[in-house]
């Protein structure tokens, strides 16, 4: 979606397999954060400027470095807790780091009413239909195995979407 909007995309992943998937999905640069410091690599890739936005689904273990990757007026979008919630953070640090913005979005706010839901989902389905967006549907769990699905997600053993079936 970011590539379709014209963004240069830097992805961070834990394995070579996930690096290949990120490149196939359109990432311009991929950093294996288990092998290299992603903060240092982002600074290298951007000639020290940093990035406009970080989308962080990991949380606790990546939060501080993700903040350091941002350029002035950058946006930190923290939307997950795969490594646990961020519990220690002082908002006053955002000013001296370049007047940064931090948000913690939830799907429910963006789809709170029928019109918002249809607008947002309509865009996604249109992009899929036009071939501009493809979904990786690889992990299927029965609803009774939802705990196992959650553990696989937390353990970073998944790529793509997780589907719970009745």
CA angle 54, 42, 10 (to 5 degrees): 60
Provide the pLDDT for residue 90: 95
In a domain, 128, yes or no: no
**Beta bridge mates, 139:** 162
Query: CATH no. for residue 35?
Result: 3.40.50.720
Question: Total domain count for the chain?
Answer: 1
In a domain, 138, yes or no: no
In a domain, 89, yes or no: yes
Q: Is residue 31 a contact partner of residue 54, using CB atoms and an 8 Å limit?
A: no
Provide the pLDDT for residue 37: 96
> Strand, helix or coil at 5?
coil
In a domain, 3, yes or no: yes
Distance CA 19, CA 63 (A): 20
In a domain, 142, yes or no: no
In a domain, 110, yes or no: no
Provide the pLDDT for residue 14: 86
In a domain, 163, yes or no: no
pTM: 0.84
In a domain, 134, yes or no: no
**pLDDT by position in tens, the chain (length 166):** 899 899 999 999 989 999 999 999 999 999 999 899 999 999 999 999 999 999 999 899 899 999 999 999 999 999 988 888 999 999 999 999 999 999 999 999 999 999 999 999 999 999 999 999 888 888 999 999 999 998 998 887 888 889 999 9
Structural domain for 36, as ranges: 1-103
């Amino acid at each position: 979606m970011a590539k379709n909007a014209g963004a240069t995309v830097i992805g961070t992943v834990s394995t070579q397999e996930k690096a290949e998937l990120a490149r196939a999905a359109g990432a311009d640069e991929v950093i294996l954060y288990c092998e290299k410091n992603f903060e240092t690599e982002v600074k290298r890739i951007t000639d020290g400027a940093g990035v406009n936005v970080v989308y962080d689904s990991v949380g606790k273990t990546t939060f501080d470095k993700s903040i350091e990757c941002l350029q002035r007026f950058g946006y930190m979008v923290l939307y997950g807790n795969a490594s646990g919630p961020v519990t220690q953070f002082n908002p006053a640090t955002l000013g001296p780091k370049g007047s940064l913005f931090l948000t913690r979005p939830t799907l429910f706010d963006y789809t709170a009413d029928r019109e918002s839901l249809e607008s947002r989902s309509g865009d996604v389905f249109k992009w899929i239909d036009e071939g501009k967006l493809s979904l990786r549907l690889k992990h299927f769990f029965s609803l009774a195995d939802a705990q196992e699905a959650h553990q696989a997600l937390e353990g970073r053993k998944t790529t793509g979407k997780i589907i719970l079936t009745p």
